[in-house]
Amino acid sequence: MVSLKFLPSIAFLAAISLITTSFTINIMLSEWKLAKSKNGVKVYTRSVPGYQLKEYKCEMISNASIELLSKILKDYDDHKNWGEGLSESDILNQNGDTDYHVYFRNPAPWPVSDRDIITHFQWESWDDGTINIRMSAAPDYIPHKDGLVRITFMSGYWRLTPMANGQVLVTTSAHADPGGNIPDWLANAGVVDIPYDTMLGLKGRAAQGF
């Protein structure tokens, strides 16, 4: 993580330093690298300073309507049936039609401990018809469970962007700290394979209708 310390006597120089550092970080974070492209799904990754796990961005073009995709994504209790790496998905609380707290459990191969996470989903509609769903971890929303490692940091989004030809660009991106000790190869392999398989799962679920 980048840490900047400011001294009042050199405020001007500090401001220049802040601008320069922010510019450098933005350049670094803009360098997405294509990690996988198959079956109409593309997964990009990029490193984040100070974190073991890479950030990912996954996208596909869907022939399903934006209304159908929204219904599938809002059925959080059903995510375990098509989302990769989920053994549990349960709505803990719903506030209207735009705010959800959802419990997910992620099984891990022995000897790595299973993870769980409470994700806060916030839905918003943009003027161009895009539906943006912000995701963030809410680690203390319910008590921690014995034998599981609680994911305490995650930030990301799902995004449904209507295209001129009637198709929908589906994008999801996230960055998380899995906590505990996870081998680098396992953690960063999951960053590619899990969003890829999840997007294929969404595609298959949409083909079934709702």
Q: Give the pLDDT mean for 63-81.
A: 97
- The pTM of this model reads 0.83
Q: pLDDT digits over 6-64, tens only?
A: 333 333 323 333 333 344 444 445 599 999 999 999 999 999 988 878 999 999 999 99
Q: What is the CATH number of the domain that holds 154?
A: 3.30.530.20
Residue 25 lies in a domain: no
Residue numbers of the domain that contains 104: 33-207
Per-residue confidence band for 111, with pLDDT thresholds at 50, 70 and 90: confident
Note the pLDDT of residue 179.
Answer: 77
Per-residue confidence band for 178, with pLDDT thresholds at 50, 70 and 90: confident
Check whether 5 has a pLDDT greater than 50. Answer: no
Q: Give the pLDDT mean for 166-189.
A: 84
Structural domain total, the chain: 1
Residue 2 lies in a domain: no
Is residue 171 helix, strand or coil? strand
Residue 18 lies in a domain: no
Q: What is the DSSP string of 151-203?
A: P-EEEEEEEEEE-TTS-EEEEEEEEEE--S---HHHHHHHHHHHHHHHHHHHH
Residue 11 lies in a domain: no
Note the pLDDT of residue 29.
Answer: 52
Residue 61 lies in a domain: yes
Residue 6 lies in a domain: no
Q: pLDDT digits over 129-151, tens only?
A: 999 999 999 999 999 999 999 99
Residue 14 lies in a domain: no
What is the rounded average pLDDT for all residues in the chain? 85
Query: 89 or 177, which is more confident?
Result: 89
Note the pLDDT of residue 169.
Answer: 98
Check whether 165 has a pLDDT greater than 50. Answer: yes
**Helix, strand and coil percent figures for the chain, each rounded to 5:** 30, 35, 35
Check whether 202 has a pLDDT greater than 50. Answer: yes
Residue 166 lies in a domain: yes
Note the pLDDT of residue 177.
Answer: 85
% of the chain surpassing 90 pLDDT: 70
Query: Whose CA is closest to 133, among 185, 190, 202, 200?
Result: 202
